[in-house]
Structure 1
Amino acid sequence: MSFFVKAMAAPFKLYQSIADEVAKERRLSLQDGLGWSQLGGGASHSGKTVTMNKAMTLATVWACIRVTAQAVSSLPSAMFEKRADNDHAPVDGGDIGEVLCSSPNQDQSPIEFWEEMAAWLVTRGNAYAEKRTIGRRLTSVEPLNLFDPQPYRDSENRLFYRFSDRGKMETLPREKVFHLKGFGQGLRNRDLGLSPIAYGVHSIGSAMSADEAAGKMFGNGMQMSGVLSADQTLKPDQRKQLQAVMEAYAGSSRAGKLMILEAGLTYQQLSLAPDDAQMLETRRFSVEDVCRWWGTPPIIIGHAGEGQTMWGSGVEQIFLAWRVLGIDPILNRIEWAVWKQIIRSSQNPRLFLEFNREAFLQMDSKAKAEFLSSMVQNGLMDRNEGRQKLNLRNRDGADRLTAQTNLAPLDQLGAGSDGNAARAAIRNWLGITTEGSRDDRS
């Protein structure tokens, strides 16, 4: 019996091995929708096949990815070194700082590199770059083809990445790949993050269908603005004559012309059909629905909800919440990935990369002024450090920490200042004491 089972299973094993080899050598073209759907999404309830390229044609998807990637990449980054007593100081970071903060590779600036990595991270759930070294010295980080790299583990649980390089399959070990993994963990591969496009296929597909329906309606011009009615039946030649007359008034270039009605003809204007009004509401809802997959408030991409304005303190709080809940987690993810995958194996594991979140205040002069004033007045920053935040030159004597004089350490409460000491000396010279003064007043 076992021999019969093995004989029946042999053809299936052969087919599977051939299919695996074909899959390795297969090259996807831009027109291969089915192939892309396996990578970027799938079929939605609306009947639309959602791929990454098709999803990016939606203004909402494009805007969510763009504003997130640009917000992350626009923040300046720097290398710091941990010191004793939880202190840290900025350092150049050597070759790691040069690559990550100044020149990631020969073709990209830091803004372009981190923008690309952040865009792939929030689109596909994963972003990859090859770490190129000379000995133990990091020389560059080169973004990899994002459709090809696939992490896998061998029988000894060692992590490798397989990808295509100019038509040839290559494999890199974990030590050669910088991998930013997004939210969650893949069900079939725990080394993969989850893609918003793949899991938001039904929301994105519905939005694509609504856009297509609206485009076809306006493109075909089948929306009637009114009807002509007559009290008698028209003959075929009269219908043709009336059609010719109507064509003379059709089109936006003929708007405002006066039409003469005769022979009992009357015109009745039509309002927007309920179905069409519902379609417009569906398109509005689809914007908010798609935004949920990226954690981007609709107002961030220029869409105001019903009854919501585009300015005010409420909108300011929405932007603050987006930076805290949307941008900061991505920055933390990048910083920890850099330390774990690049810095930890270096000569100095006390180094760490940090993005300057304060740069968000650059375009808000009022918030920046309040921030610098609070930092200087409370002794957390000297005036030269504050001037550096404004790109101003240092001044002599402005490098000392200062604080408001009405604030004092707890162990010095009640201690007199120089002014109080002078007043006490004058009272003593005049023979006036506190108790005596009270007695005199009483």
Structure 2
Amino acid sequence: MGMFSFLSRWMASSDDRSPWGDFWFEPVSVRTSSGMRVSADNALRLAAVYASVRILAETMASLPFVLYRRRADGGKDKVTDHWLYRLLAKRPNRYQNPYEWREMLQGHLALRGNAYNRIVANSRGEILELVPIHPDRIKMELTPAGDYRYRVTDRLGVETVAPRGEIWHLRGLSSDGLIGMSPIDLARESLGMALAAQDYGARFFANDAKPTGGWIEFPGSFKDSEAKKVFRESYQAAQSGANRGKVLVLENGMKFHEVGVTNKDAQFLELRKFQITDIARLFRVPPHMIADLERATFSNIEQQSLEFVMHTMTPWAERWEASIESELLFDGDDLEVEFDFSNLMRGDAASRSTYYQSGIQNGWLTRNEARIAENLNPLEGLDEPLRPLNMVEEGAAGDLEGDAVQTKPPAQEAAEPKDDEAAARVRALVATSAARLARRISRAGAIADNDIALIADALAVPVTRVAQWAQDSNVPMTECALNESLVSLGMTS
């Protein structure tokens, strides 16, 4: 037999337990050139298809839903007391939680290119529930007025008509703007080949990994057709069922000739490997995410994971966001919908630490914001952003100069109590100024021209000496080494 043999039509159980029917049941399939019937459901028999759909559905379901209201200054505030937030983040319907609901809808989109929900609203127009409808049980039809409506068939076979405003329709890639295209239908020939290869492999090993099919050479002849039929049936009985693989004894000069190609000649393993890559390509999923690590390395896995977020999940999330804002919100609502990708982009602990350190030191992230991002409670006094000393605005330069003035040694004070006390006070002030200056220079990584005048002013050292010190210093150096060098410079003046 050839590799691409006929497979009996496979159908899922129609035992519906949910109030709106069996979501994954699909009664119609199309026969492909390989002889296999391909539908959105039996394609899930392929492990690569199931893994790809699952990673898309679970990733979309795991993204936190955020609702924002824009402020006049361009910022935005999170909104948690709106009906849309309660609907999509807490309870989309009485039967499902948000994760299950979103996972199922994304599965419908990945397999069939469309996802549908019946809208249940109150008299004020606020949506109370979004009840999913299986894509195979709903059809869109155009009305004479140029609008469209939907015909919905329930699990009992009763058909109802729903106007456009009662159905929320999420579309995938569409050729007409009305109905999304099914990836399974578009790639049915490729998937049919994969199903045929899978079926062939199963039958091959069911036959004890021996090629099936052949013919028997008989130098004589049978006396009639009935004798030939009896021989054929006895031969098949001797080589099937519990007798499969037993030694065959032929008589009267008969010889058995095997028919077919070997798995090596048919490149069976190469075909199976290619099908995994082909299916991953169909769903735009990196192969390593469906456990194909043949060409994976540490560096390219990290890059492919980033590309999965950017080029696969971000377009899906934006498709959801645009549909929610245009179909579920009122025209006058100044709200924005967003799915938060920050958890997917978190990285490891070292990367997050570097990210937070950069944000806090450069003033665009507060310490409490970093704590909240790490699921830690905020602390009092950590809500203000830090201002780097080498990045102050021109108008704020006076603050820095004021610090320098305050750190001048009190050499000209009218009365000093004792020489030892005065020397100790000078040393303390020099140490304080040196520490502040060392921190500033260490962060900048170099001594700027305006730093020379500031150092001379803060340590009461001539500018020429500071310039010579800057020329002789091996910068960059550690903050501790800079501090010691500046203290030495200040105390020798």
Shift of 1:352: 2.0
Alignment-derived partner of residue 84 in structure 2: 96
Alignment-derived partner of residue 113 in structure 2: 125
Partner residue of 2:359 out of 375, 393, 398? 375
User: Are 1:56 and 2:44 an aligned pair?
Assistant: yes
Give the 5 Å matches for 1:212-231: 212-223=199-210
Shift of 1:368: 3.1
Cα separation, 2, equivalents of 1:284 and 1:343: 46
User: Are 1:321 and 2:321 an aligned pair?
Assistant: no
The percent identity for this pair of structures is 25
TM-score between the two structures when normalised by the length of structure 1: 0.72
How many residue pairs match? The answer is 359
Shift of 1:292: 1.3
Shift of 1:327: 0.6
Cα separation, 1, equivalents of 2:375 and 2:76: 22
Alignment-derived partner of residue 184 in structure 1: 174
Measured at CA, do residues 223 and 374 of structure 1 come closer, stay the same or move farther in structure 2, by a change above 3 Å? farther
Give the 5 Å matches for 1:19-418: 30=12, 42-135=30-123, 136-165=125-154, 166-186=156-176, 190-223=177-210, 275=264, 278-305=267-294, 308-309=295-296, 311-345=297-331, 349-361=333-345, 364-409=348-393, 416=400
Which deviates more, 122-131 or 370-379? 370-379
Opposite residue 367 of structure 1, the aligned amino acid is S
Opposite residue 40 of structure 2, the aligned amino acid is M
Asked which structure has the greater CA Rg, the reply is 2
Measured at CA, do residues 404 and 277 of structure 1 come closer, stay the same or move farther in structure 2, by a change above 3 Å? farther
TM-score between the two structures when normalised by the length of structure 2: 0.65
Cα separation, 2, equivalents of 1:107 and 1:191: 28
User: Are 1:434 and 2:463 an aligned pair?
Assistant: yes
Cα separation, 2, equivalents of 1:317 and 1:436: 52
Cα separation, 2, equivalents of 1:61 and 1:131: 31
Cα separation, 2, equivalents of 1:360 and 1:77: 14
Cα separation, 1, equivalents of 2:389 and 2:193: 63
Measured at CA, do residues 123 and 371 of structure 1 come closer, stay the same or move farther in structure 2, by a change above 3 Å? farther
Cα separation, 1, equivalents of 2:330 and 2:119: 14
Measured at CA, do residues 340 and 365 of structure 1 come closer, stay the same or move farther in structure 2, by a change above 3 Å? same
Shift of 1:358: 0.3
1:241-275 deviation line (CA, Å, top 9, x unaligned):
xxxxxx9xx99xxxxxxxxxxxxxxxxxxxx9563
Alignment-derived partner of residue 25 in structure 1: none
Measured at CA, do residues 96 and 276 of structure 1 come closer, stay the same or move farther in structure 2, by a change above 3 Å? same
Measured at CA, do residues 150 and 376 of structure 1 come closer, stay the same or move farther in structure 2, by a change above 3 Å? farther
Cα separation, 2, equivalents of 1:381 and 1:431: 36
Measured at CA, do residues 39 and 195 of structure 1 come closer, stay the same or move farther in structure 2, by a change above 3 Å? farther
1:309-350 deviation line (CA, Å, top 9, x unaligned):
3x51211000100111011110011011110000135xx511
1:119-177 deviation line (CA, Å, top 9, x unaligned):
11111000011111111121111111221122222111112111112422112122111
CA contact (8 A) 2:25 2:41 kept: no
- Structure 1: any 5+ residue segments left out of the alignment? 1-28, 225-246, 252-271
CA contact (8 A) 2:409 2:460 kept: no
Cα separation, 2, equivalents of 1:105 and 1:425: 73
Q: Could you say what the CA RMSD is over the residues aligned between the two structures, in angstroms?
A: 3.5
Cα separation, 1, equivalents of 2:35 and 2:392: 69
Does the residue aligned with 1:72 lie in a helix, a strand or coil?
helix
CA contact (8 A) 2:12 2:25 kept: no
Cα separation, 1, equivalents of 2:54 and 2:121: 31
CA contact (8 A) 1:130 1:176 kept: yes
CA contact (8 A) 1:148 1:163 kept: yes
Measured at CA, do residues 390 and 428 of structure 1 come closer, stay the same or move farther in structure 2, by a change above 3 Å? closer
Shift of 1:405: 3.1
Q: Which has the higher contact order (CA 8 A, sep 6+)?
A: 1
1:211-240 deviation line (CA, Å, top 9, x unaligned):
11111111111438xxxxxxxxxxxxxxxx
Opposite residue 44 of structure 2, the aligned amino acid is M
- Structure 2: any 5+ residue segments left out of the alignment? 1-10, 15-23, 212-241, 247-260, 411-455, 471-493
CA contact (8 A) 1:37 1:51 kept: no
Shift of 1:77: 0.9
